[in-house]
Every structure is written in C-alpha cells, then in structure tokens.
Amino acid sequence: MSQGELSKTLFPLGEMTKDQTRRIAGDLGLVTALRPESQEICFVGDKNYADFIKNFTPDALRPGPIIDSGGKVVGEHKGIIYYTIGQRRGLGVSSLKPYYVTQIDHHNNTVTVGSREEATRKSLKIRELNWISVRSLNGPLRAKVKIRSTMKEVPSTITPESDDTVMVEFDTPQWAPAPGQSAVFYCGDIVMGGGIIE
C-alpha cells in the first residue's frame, strides 16, 4: 500500500495479536476462529490455477523447450504455468546432477534449468518501489530483506539506482528469488518499504 492509501486506512484490530483475535472469534462462535491459515489465492475458488490462468493468458499452457544455462535444449515443458523458480521435481529431464528451474522466459516460452548454485542470487534489481518509513534513498542503506513469505529476512545492502529501482545485495546468496514476487525491506521490526523483483 502506498502512503496515500495508508493515511486513510483504519486497522480495526488495532494492537491485538492473531491469537487474541482467534480467541475472541471462538468466544463469539465464529466458524473462522479455527480456520487454518492460507497462503493460497483466495479468489480462485476451486483451486484450479491452470484454468484460472488459461482464461487470462492461454499461452502460459503452451508447451516449449527446457534449456540448460548454455542454451542447449534438454527437454520440453508442458506450459510455463506449471513451473516455478527453484523447482526440482517434475521437470521430466534426466541428468547426472539434479536440475533446478533457474529462469522462466514467457516471451520466448522457455524454462531454463541449471545447478542449485545457479538458482541462487547474490543480488537483485527491485522495481516499483513503495517506501513506507522513508521518502526515498539518497545512498546505500543497510537493512534486512525478505523475498518470500516463508523465509526470514536477511542482512543486505540496498542501493538506489533510480527513483523507481534499487539493487539489493545480500550478505549471503539467497535461494531461488522469483521475478514478479515482492521484496520487503525491514529495519528491526519496522517496514521501510519494498518493491517487485525484476
């Protein structure tokens, strides 16, 4: 959310924790009190993601080549929708060493595979910045960065490139960052801002 949106937002639960909220919901007999948490896409009712994507981007289900990091065709994919950065299982490619998805190129309809090391990144370009606690960066910032919901934020240096892009350099390479996903910048427990992984 932008600063403009946040300035008009009310948080009805205020300082309450999730556990406190669930306890109150249980006391009120609400069925959501015991509902398990979900990281799923809430508006895809039957969880058939392929059909949902097919309606908007039919090309995502078109087969195409799986290539290695040298550009050699090593197999065929069944549609880029079925693959994710870092994926190892279900590639249908035989190799002496395990392959991992390192890149998905929707323009050329290719899935690139490589070693585990090739699926890690030391740095990332982040676009579509949304600063929350600061107006912008005038120089490098030491912060912690989180690139997926299930990971811990990690020490990094954030360096501005333009008004809308920064480079994030991790202290240690990170596993399988995926373009299009969010990167969030933290200073302690304060959200500094974030953007989209390019």
CA atoms within 13 A on the CB side of 25: 14
b/e map of 95-130 (b: 16 or more CB within 10 Å)?
eeeebbbbbbeeeebbbbbbeeebbbbeebebeebb
pLDDT digits (tens, 9 = 90+) for 13-51: 888 998 999 999 999 999 888 888 776 666 666 667 777
- The pTM for the full model equals 0.78
pLDDT of 69 higher than 90: yes
Domains and CATH numbers, the chain: 49-115 (2.30.30.280), 120-197 (2.40.30.10)
User: How far is C-alpha 26 from the geometric centre of its chain's CA atoms?
Assistant: 33
Q: Residue 28 carries which DSSP code?
A: T
At residue 193, the 3 state secondary structure works out as strand
104 touches 111 (CB < 8 A): yes
